[in-house]
Structure formats: structure tokens, C-alpha cells
Amino acid sequence: MVWKEICVMDERMRFVTACLDGTESVSALSRLYGISRKTGYKWLDRYRRDGPSGLEDRSRAPHGNSRRVSDEMASEIISLRCRHRTWGPRKVKAWLEDRYPERVWPAASTIGALFDRVGLTVPRKRRRRIPLQSHPFAACRQANDLWCIDFKGWFLTGDGTQVDPLTLSDGHCRYLLRCQAVNRTDAQNVWPILESAFFEFGLPVALRSDNGPPFASRAAGGLSRLSVKLIKAGVCPDRIEPGKPQQNGRHERLHLTLKQETAAPPARSLREQIARFERFREIYNTERPHEALGQLPPARVYQPSPRPFSGILRSPDYADGVRVRRVRSNGEIKWRGNLVFVSEVLAGEPVGLVEIDNDCWKLNYGPVELGILKGEDGLQRQGTGRPSKPKPYLKQSP
């Protein structure tokens, strides 16, 4: 048996022709053609009004959309995006709802579609997501638990001036504490910026940085002259593992936004570039919504530290039972009649020794472990005519 092919338009035309002949009622013909009486009258009315073209299928889309974004609202949304080209739909929506809560703004997906239509969306290659293996900010539960510091990386302004921006932010609230261009990337230029931030916001518990100068060195414990000052101010240096910038990922992400909004392209002169940094810091802290903060700007969340900075640098104190030695100007300490080299950056500073095993001592400077001091009891100096014994040595901690 061969299947019959039926043309919908032909069937509708036969139905209408039969109705116009008047031999059968519309109800009877509707039953014959397998349609409802309402549908039969619909096709008959369309044919009388539009002729054969009235029997064609029509779009079921609504003639109007009451929820369509008005031209005025679309203009406001696009204007905001043009002022802040790195903001996505969610940030734009959060900013508008915060400034104009009495108005009903479209969903973030609708705003994103609007950006697509007007060409404000830059397509990006889809990145392959890698699961996290560590949680470097797990201990950062409130403001001032951890500050992050780093150099963004130098670049040239339009007139050829080199700019080295130093950034300092709160690891929990993302509040940008400092964004300044420095003359040189050394401790003499970095410490005044840190000191002014301590006076203004108080002391954090720890300061996270990479392992490069001036934040760290190859001395015992990785201490540099800057990190020694931090410890004496009451702040613990916190360094990421070498080659793992993701452990300071929040600050690295800040640098991307800083580059996009202030240095792509750079300003014509150093003066203009510094003005861009100041403007960026103001917008970043007080206007730009942050998704991790519930789309609030950092200034709404950040609170200054309850630990004020007096400006006095004090050497660390040690508990009872800790043996204290003061580092000489050449970086050595005297231990059981022998001289043990520790670090020249600790010249004049007290270090503490705690016995952790038989004739095995852990050497600390404040909260930082410098290494393990090993040697035998009753060591004697060489040249006494007695058999020489092994000289104690300092084994640095990994």
C-alpha cells in the first residue's frame, strides 16, 4: 500500500470550496476533514477576507512586546558600558540597580544581548577550566587578614617615560589601598608607600608578595631588608611559592583590569598616567561592583584595621625558654664558642633558638623560621691542641 501525500493548502482550499457550495453545513464538513468547527470558520473567514493567500500559515509571534527594553533605557545602558568598557552585563546591571533602585532594569542576559547587537562585546577564546589544587586565601576571612602587594610591570608612556606601578590591595575585600608609580623598585621607594598605608588604614596581619626583590631575597628565611621592617612593624611577610602567581590570583586579576583601563594604550605623559591611576583607584573602590562581594564595590565592605600603626619599629620579643642571640654586623651569631653566619640583613637584630631535638635547634626571627642549627654539645674552638669537632652549621629551611 502506497502512503498518500496530502498538501495542507489543497485540503484547506477543498474545505472552503465545499463550504461555499452550501451542500453541507460547516459542522459536517469540519467533522469530515478532521478539524474543529472553530477552525473551520477561521479558514472560511480568512478566505472571504484575503482570498487564497488567507489560507497560508501565519507567524504566531506577538505583534508587540510589553517587556521590550525601551530606547531610552537602552541608551542609558550603552552609555554606561561606553564609560566602563571592561564591565560585563552583571556589573552594569548591579551599578544601575544600586543607583536607580526605583526602576526595573532588564536581566543581565538581556543587557548582554544588547551589547552584542550594538557591537560592544569582544569575543574571547573559550578557556579550558582547570580544577583548583589549593586554597591560598583560605585563612583570609575578613578585611586586613592579608594584604597583597606587587609591581604591575613597567611600560612606557607616549613621551617615552618609564612607569613602574606598585599596587597594594586587601586580599578579602579587594579594596585597592595604593596604586602609585615609583621611581625605582627598591625598598627605599616601596617602604614609604607601605608606611603611609599603615598610618591610614592600620596594620594587616600578613602581607603577601612574590619572591622577587625588594620583598624577598636569597638570605636565610628569604628575608630582605624590607621584610625585616615589616616584621618590626608587626606584619608577617607571606610569600607565594616560586613560579605560582595563581597563589596571588586576586591581585593578578586586579593588574589585568588596571592595564585594560589605564594602560591600553598608555597616557601621553607621566603626569597624565598618574592621574589615570588615581581615577582608576577611585572608581575601582567606590563604583565598580565586584561579583565576589555580592556585586558591591569594595569600599562598601572594607573597614580599616583595628591595629593602628605608631610608626615605631620594634624588634620581635621571644617567649621564656627561647635562647636569644643578637646578629653581629657581619651577619654572624656566637653559639657555644663558635661563630655561625646567619644573614647580613639581620645585623643588630635578635634571633631566637628553640631546641627541637637532641642538639638540634630551630632558629627564628620573629614569626619567620630561618633554618636549623646542628652541632654537638661542648664544642671547642679549633687550634686548642685537642681533636677538632664538627663546626655547627645553619641549614636553611626549604
pLDDT, tens digit, for every residue of 214-238? Answer: 999 988 899 999 999 999 999 999 9
Is the pLDDT at 377 greater than 50? The verdict is: no
Provide the residue type at 124 as one letter.
R
Better-predicted residue by pLDDT, 124 or 82: 82
CA distances from 107 to 77, 122, 218 (A): 12, 20, 53
pLDDT band at 396 (very low <50, low <70, confident <90, very high): low
Backbone torsions φ then ψ of 265, nearest 5 degrees = -90, 170
Identify the three-state secondary structure at position 274: helix
Is the pLDDT at 25 greater than 50? The verdict is: yes
Backbone torsions φ then ψ of 66, nearest 5 degrees = -70, -20
| DSSP string of 92-151, one letter each residue | HHHHHHHH-TTS-PPPHHHHHHHHHHHT-----PPPPP------TTTT--STTSEEEEEE
Task: State the pLDDT at residue 290.
Answer: 93
At 331-348, the pLDDT tens digits run 999 988 888 899 999 999
Identify the three-state secondary structure at position 178: strand
Better-predicted residue by pLDDT, 8 or 290: 290
Task: State the pLDDT at residue 59.
Answer: 84
Say which range, 127-131, 195-199, 346-350, has the weakest mean pLDDT: 127-131
Is the pLDDT at 310 greater than 90? The verdict is: yes
Region 225-252 average pLDDT? 92
Region 152-174 average pLDDT? 94
Could you tell me which of 73, 99, 277 has the C-alpha nearest to residue 176? Answer: 277
Burial status of residue 57 (CB atoms within 10 A of its CB: 0-12, 13-18, 19 or more): exposed
Domain definitions of the chain by residue range: 8-55, 71-118, 146-300, 323-395
Contacts of 221 (CB under 8 A, 6+ apart): 343, 365, 368, 369, 370, 371, 396, 397
Say which range, 176-180, 187-191, 355-359, 368-372, has the weakest mean pLDDT: 355-359
Region 301-316 average pLDDT? 95
Q: 186-193 long-range contacts, Cβ below 8 Å, gap at least 24?
A: 186/213, 186/214, 187/214, 187/224, 187/225, 187/226, 187/229, 190/166, 190/214, 190/226, 191/226, 191/229, 193/166, 193/168
Is the pLDDT at 210 greater than 50? The verdict is: yes
Is the pLDDT at 129 greater than 70? The verdict is: no
Task: State the pLDDT at residue 61.
Answer: 79
Q: For the chain, what percent of residues have pLDDT higher than 70?
A: 89
Is 361:353 a contact under the CB 8 Å cutoff? Answer: yes
Task: State the pLDDT at residue 180.
Answer: 95
Task: State the pLDDT at residue 6.
Answer: 73
CATH 3.30.420.10 fits 146-300, yes or no: yes
